[in-house]
């Protein structure tokens, strides 16, 4: 089975390499030649348009920043739908607006191409070790056909419903992650401000009800002042924008999400948009005058 992979960024590059490790024949495309060369060195072939990727593939995977990028790669000039064969499958693993997934799927169906949306959670570390959490929307039979491929990149691939359900699930995930990081930054700023060692607090509470995967991953970064991006603030802003837009469409209140969005926007304005989202600690440092890490 031939797979095409479009989008070799922080997440897409290690995901594509994991497909190669699993033995799949892979053709890749990205505008970043350095990323392409790295994946080609690992065993992939490359080409210079999304259409050509689709021509050479039975299954096409897209892993791109946001809705407009996916629309262009799939529906635009020299896009997937110019080269895809009837009966081929598009797996969009980008995190985009659910309504955009539905629009793209409709265009695919008109060309005889099946599509599922399958965004991921876990950031770069889990992309590298192939343990992402994958949330899937679309035709369940198509999901079943590609489930083993998804599990080459993730520890789980859960079917959530019809097209767009994967991205709705991802938006819920991103709300929980953003609020959890903000809560951690707030709590550990309190500890530091009160004169209690943040590492002692972390060790004391991580095994209790307050403990979480987010806390375990992000609080050590805050304590080390290490904000090398596993997931950039600007990308989380994009996800929360999609969450707020979707919430407005369906009438769901997101007051806490709105507050964290303003924190992220402040950090973006302070030129921290390329930092890891754990840099919410910098927002609290700015308003409290206290840095969690030494």
State yes or no: is 71 an active-site residue: no
Per-residue pLDDT tens digits for 146-190: 999 999 999 999 999 999 999 999 999 999 999 999 999 999 999
Q: Which helix (H) or strand (E) holds 277?
A: none
Average pLDDT value for the chain: 97
Looking at residue 123, its pLDDT comes to 86
| Whole-number Cα distances in Å, 85 to 1, 25, 56, 88 | 14, 17, 9, 6
The answer for residues whose C-beta is within 8 angstroms of residue 280's C-beta and 6 or more apart is 181, 182, 185, 260, 263, 264, 267
Q: Does residue 63 contact residue 7 with C-beta atoms inside 8 Å? A: yes
Q: Do domains 2-162 and 168-288 have the same CATH topology?
A: no
What fold does the segment set 2-162 form as a domain?
Rossmann fold (3.40.50)
2.170.150.20, 3.40.190.10, 1.10.1040.10, 1.10.3720.10: CATH of 168-288: 1.10.1040.10
Residue 230 is predicted with a pLDDT of 84
pLDDT in tens, 124-153: 889 999 999 999 999 999 999 999 999 999
Domain boundaries, the chain: 2-162, 168-288
Q: Which of 13, 52, 126, 170 is catalytic?
A: 170
Using a pLDDT cut of 90, give the percent of the chain over it: 97
Averaged pLDDT, groups of 10, the chain, 294 residues long? 95 98 97 96 97 98 96 98 97 96 98 98 92 98 98 98 97 97 98 97 98 96 95 94 95 98 98 97 98 92
User: If you ran DSSP here, which 8-state letter would residue 278 be given?
Assistant: G
Strands 114-117 and 45-46: unpaired
């Amino acid at each position: 089975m031939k797979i095409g992979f479009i989008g070799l960024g922080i997440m897409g590059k290690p995901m594509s390499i994991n497909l190669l490790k699993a033995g799949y024949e892979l053709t890749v495309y990205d505008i970043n030649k350095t990323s392409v060369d790295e994946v080609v060195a690992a065993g992939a072939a490359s080409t210079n348009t999304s259409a050509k990727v689709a021509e050479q593939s039975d299954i096409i995977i897209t892993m791109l920043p946001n809705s407009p990028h996916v629309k262009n790669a799939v529906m635009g000039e020299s896009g997937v739908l110019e080269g895809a064969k009837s009966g081929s499958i598009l797996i969009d693993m980008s995190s985009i607006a659910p309504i955009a997934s539905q629009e793209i799927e409709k265009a695919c169906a008109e060309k005889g191409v099946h599509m599922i949306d399958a965004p991921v959670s876990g950031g770069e570390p889990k992309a590298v070790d192939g343990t992402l959490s994958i949330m899937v929307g679309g035709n369940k039979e198509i999901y079943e056909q590609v489930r083993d491929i998804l599990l080459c990149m993730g520890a789980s691939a859960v079917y959530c419903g019809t097209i767009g359900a994967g991205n709705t699930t991802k938006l819920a995930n991103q709300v929980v992650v953003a609020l959890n990081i903000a809560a951690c930054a707030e709590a550990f700023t309190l500890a530091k401000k009160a004169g209690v060692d943040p590492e002692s607090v972390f060790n004391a509470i991580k095994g209790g009800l307050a403990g979480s995967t987010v806390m375990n991953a992000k609080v050590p970064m805050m304590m080390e002042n290490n904000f090398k991006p596993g997931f950039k603030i600007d990308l989380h802003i994009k996800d929360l924008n999609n969450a707020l837009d979707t919430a407005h469409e369906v009438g769901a209140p997101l007051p806490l999400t709105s507050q964290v969005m303003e924190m992220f926007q402040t950090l973006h304005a302070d030129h921290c948009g390329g930092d890891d989202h754990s840099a919410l600690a910098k927002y609290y440092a700015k308003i409290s005058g206290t840095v969690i890490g030494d």
